[in-house]
Structure 1
Amino acid sequence: MNKPLSPVLAEKLATLKENLSRFPKVSIAFSGGVDSTLLLQVAVDVLGNAVLPITVNGAMLPSSEFTESQALAKTIGAVPLVIEADVFSLENFVKNPADRCYHCKKFIFTQIKDAAQARGFEVLLDGSNWDDMKDYRPGIKALGELGVFSPLKESGLTKQDIRDLSTYYNLPTATKPAMACLATRIPTNTPITPEALAAIEAGEDFLKSLGLSQYRLRLLGDTAKIECDPDDFAAIIKNRLSLIDTLKKLGLKTITLDLAGYNCGNMNG
């Protein structure tokens, strides 16, 4: 582990461990992102093998993220249960209303909870953190309705706290860019199709290959709007021709770069 934690962060970590120790065993909705990875690490530290990570695989998440999550869990010492979720069977996912995330979260977490309970795990945890309360997160309502416990949030851990603790635990996710469901790249009330999600995933895979630190490929009809950190604009321009060629092969006709840069939640509302 790295240098000692600050007194404030050390106290938050102690609170997190105390919150986790209240349960004899837990299941964790595990995506392999920054938050759920730290939660899994600390839970395994506290509860050992009485922890069941559950990963949902589906069209709404990049296949590369799924693969990485499975390898990451293995390094922590846990083997996730994998659930396949057909989000296209959910009408309110396809229609993409303003509260799509609520319906999708309810749909997915109901399956996670059922799978956990079928294996004797009554307590289900997720990686929501303190900062999630500040953003538009309709999915949080679904978690509350299903009785999902969010120990990172309850322990007062912010996103930066979680990154700092991830560094402390030498987790590779400490500097991992924020990740979100691919459907967040499509404007509200624009129907979501398998083809659209596949195009977004392939386009973002190319952006990732350029070494960008944070990025999104927003889909506006047949127009791609790229958002990234302004420091990465040079990489976009340098690889402009190959980027255009890649995206046009995916059926996109116009390729744009948002000069305002990456901004979380641009498709909300």
Structure 2
Amino acid sequence: MREARPGAFIETSAATPPAERLARVLERFPALAVAVSGGVDSLTLASFAFAHGVPLTVIHAVSPAVPAEATMRVRHLAVAQGWELIVTGTGEFEDKRYRDNPVDRCYFCKTNLYDRVAGLTDRPIASGANLDDLGDYRPGLIAATERRVVHPLIEAGLAKSDVRALARALGLGEVAELPAQPCLASRVETGIAIHAADLAFVERAERRLAVLTGGGTLRCRITRQGVVVELGPEAMGHAGAVDTLMAGLCGEAARVYAGTRAYRRGAMFVGA
């Protein structure tokens, strides 16, 4: 299997503050195009680079796999900070390799994304991948490596906790506390074809579930057994109410509801 090598760490003392390490990485770039998803990592990277005077183009891709609230968040920050923002489609749903949902689906998603971004800017493309991402199965990093995408947070040795601390220092408010939120296609079990209608159902269900449980970690999964809701420890006390809500939503949508279970990261990667 192809191996992703996202980049080297800068040479600095472990005692060097994360913000200083990231600033040193960004000094290498006369300008950047940051691909932002609407999550804490890429938004923090874009905000930090902009605040440090790096000429910046921010590019956000919309698709059925991107929650509408993520796009709204990007647009809000772009106006608030004065970014040059480009919103584009990615075209991944035109790629049968992506829609077939193999275990390396993310490779084809990121291939489409970065090829589209490269056609919109001559600036080096940067992602918001952080150090913790290297511990996961991330085929999208392979596509990034093949296209010379840079990962400033990784190069600076920043983990997720460092990124959140940086977001707080930048005054990004609720962005700093956003839960990890992979794309909606990650809710679909490997081998089940990706359909926009499934992702719309997942987005609607998770929005309702978040209100019901008060937030925290939860996932609405599309599996071979039916719709499953995974709950983090903080939401387990709401399992009964979740069952009632989801039974209703699945009944309205003519879907099978298969109950709740404990949240497990990467649960949809069957055979990974």
On whether the aligned pair clears a TM of 0.5, the verdict is yes
Secondary structure, counterpart of 2:259 in structure 1: strand
Residues 19, 151 of structure 1: 8 Å contact kept: yes
Match of 2:37 among 8, 16, 31: 31
Match of 1:47 among 37, 53, 60: 53
Where does residue 93 of structure 1 map in the other structure?
Answer: 98
TM superposition shift of 1:262: 1.8
Where does residue 237 of structure 1 map in the other structure?
Answer: 240
Q: Judging changes above 3 Å, is the alpha-carbon distance between structure 1 residues 9 and 124 closer, same or farther for their aligned structure 2 residues?
A: farther
Residues 91, 112 of structure 2: 8 Å contact kept: no
TM superposition shift of 1:28: 0.3
Q: 2 CA distance for matches of 1:126 and 1:29? A: 6
CA RMSD of aligned residues (A): 1.8
> CA offsets per residue over residues 11-54 of structure 1, 9 Å max, x none?
22112111112222111001120100110111001125x11100
Residues 220, 229 of structure 2: 8 Å contact kept: yes
Q: 1 CA distance for matches of 2:108 and 2:242? A: 38
Which region of structure 1 is more displaced relative to structure 2, 58-67 or 246-255?
Answer: 246-255
Question: Partner amino acid for 1:217?
Answer: C
Q: 1 CA distance for matches of 2:243 and 2:228? A: 13
User: What runs of 5+ residues in structure 1 fail to find an aligned partner?
Assistant: 1-6
Where does residue 11 of structure 1 map in the other structure?
Answer: 17
Where does residue 74 of structure 1 map in the other structure?
Answer: 79
Q: 2 CA distance for matches of 1:9 and 1:255? A: 49
Where does residue 214 of structure 1 map in the other structure?
Answer: 217
Secondary structure, counterpart of 1:28 in structure 2: strand
Where does residue 204 of structure 1 map in the other structure?
Answer: 206
The structure 1 segments of at least 4 consecutive aligned residues displaced by more than 6 Å after TM superposition are none
Which region of structure 1 is more displaced relative to structure 2, 55-64 or 201-210?
Answer: 201-210
Where does residue 142 of structure 1 map in the other structure?
Answer: 143
Percent identical residues? 29
Secondary structure, counterpart of 1:115 in structure 2: coil
Match of 1:22 among 28, 38, 41: 28
Residues 35, 128 of structure 1: 8 Å contact kept: yes
Secondary structure, counterpart of 1:232 in structure 2: helix
Where does residue 175 of structure 1 map in the other structure?
Answer: 177
Question: Partner amino acid for 1:106?
Answer: T
Residues 88, 94 of structure 1: 8 Å contact kept: yes
Matched, 1:252 2:258: no
Q: 2 CA distance for matches of 1:47 and 1:9? A: 25
Question: Partner amino acid for 1:175?
Answer: E
Q: Provide TM-score, normalisation by structure 2.
A: 0.88
Number of equivalences: 256
